[in-house]
Amino acid sequence: MKETVLITGAGRGIGLALTKEFLAAGYRVFAGVRKTYHLLEKEKEQYPADLILVPLDVTDMASVRAAAAQVSAATPALEILVNNAGVYLGDKTRPLEELDLEDNHLQQTMEVNAFGPLRVVQQFLPLLAAGEKKIIINISSEAGSIGDCWRKQEYAYAMSKAALNMQTRILHNYLSPRGFKVRALHPGWVRTDMGGKEADLDPATSAAGIFNLIQKVAAGEQVTKEDGEGIYLDYQGNILRW
């Protein structure tokens, strides 16, 4: 039987590149999509049986439950979950004094980037527990590192990724005794709608790095220490400071 993966935010950017990477490697991919579907059309033609589109808005519990029901009806187990969906809201150039703190961008950023992955993990846990690999990947960011923080603005995004890192650590504590492997990965600075045109990496390079790292995690070649070192990594496997 083919191995299975669920990728959230699979309709564009890094999620789309990860979807292509997993399909090319022979996986059956459940692609969580919210608004953007059209960029997956070619893959749908090429892999009609292995690419399954799953409507999924990670801010909406009913949507997450419906997605889990759809995937449960299609497969008895999920090997890998990649929580990739994310947003960058608010003006990154404005200092604190000029920030609009009433436009809801703080709340919405947390809803998608921090609370969204927790909703998805909760609802997909039985399927993941039934899998062999039991891998949960939260796509974080170097922006979530408190130890290496250099920013003087970007509160919403950086705070949401720091919260996602904490979530990853708690999930690791909770789930590793059951054989789960939980990681928070920084994908690099990637040329997507979020990363912008000036970014270092094309999405395929980042996705290939993340894919290889996941294989190493699955094979037990990438391990974590008692103090949590090795849970938070970049797409090349370099350890990041919490």
Cβ at position 203, least distance to ligand NAP in Å: 7
Applying CB under 6 A, which of residues 57, 64, 210, 213 lies at the interface with ligand NAP? 57
Cβ at position 215, least distance to ligand NAP in Å: 19
Contact 171, 183 (CB under 8 A): no
Residue 12, interface with ligand NAP (CB under 6 A)? Answer: yes
Residue 39, interface with ligand NAP (CB under 6 A)? Answer: no
| Interface characters, 87-126, with ligand NAP (x: CB under 6 A) | x------------------------x--------------
Task: Find where tokens 């709340």 sit.
Answer: 107
Beta strand pairing call for 80-83 and 51-55: unpaired
Considering only residues 119 through 178, tell me which ones interact with ligand NAP, judged by CB under 6 A: 139, 141
Residue 199, interface with ligand NAP (CB under 6 A)? Answer: yes
Ramachandran class of 55: left when φ > 0, alpha when ψ lies in -120 to 50, beta otherwise: beta
The token duo for 111 is 């809803």
Cβ at position 93, least distance to ligand NAP in Å: 17
Residue 15, interface with ligand NAP (CB under 6 A)? Answer: yes
The token duo for 182 is 């939980």
- What are the backbone dihedrals phi and psi of residue 154, each rounded to the nearest 5 degrees, phi first? 65, 40
Strands (DSSP E) found in the chain? 4-7, 28-33, 51-55, 80-83, 135-139, 181-186, 232-234
Contact 96, 153 (CB under 8 A): yes
Cβ at position 133, least distance to ligand NAP in Å: 21
CA atoms within 13 A on the CB side of 164: 38
Which region, judged by CB under 6 A, interacts with ligand NAP, from 40-48, 81-89, 215-223, 224-232?
Answer: 81-89
Catalytic residue set:
157, 161
Which residues of this protein are in contact with ligand NAP, per CB under 6 A?
8-9, 11-15, 34-36, 56-59, 84-87, 112, 139, 141, 186-187, 189-190, 192-195, 199
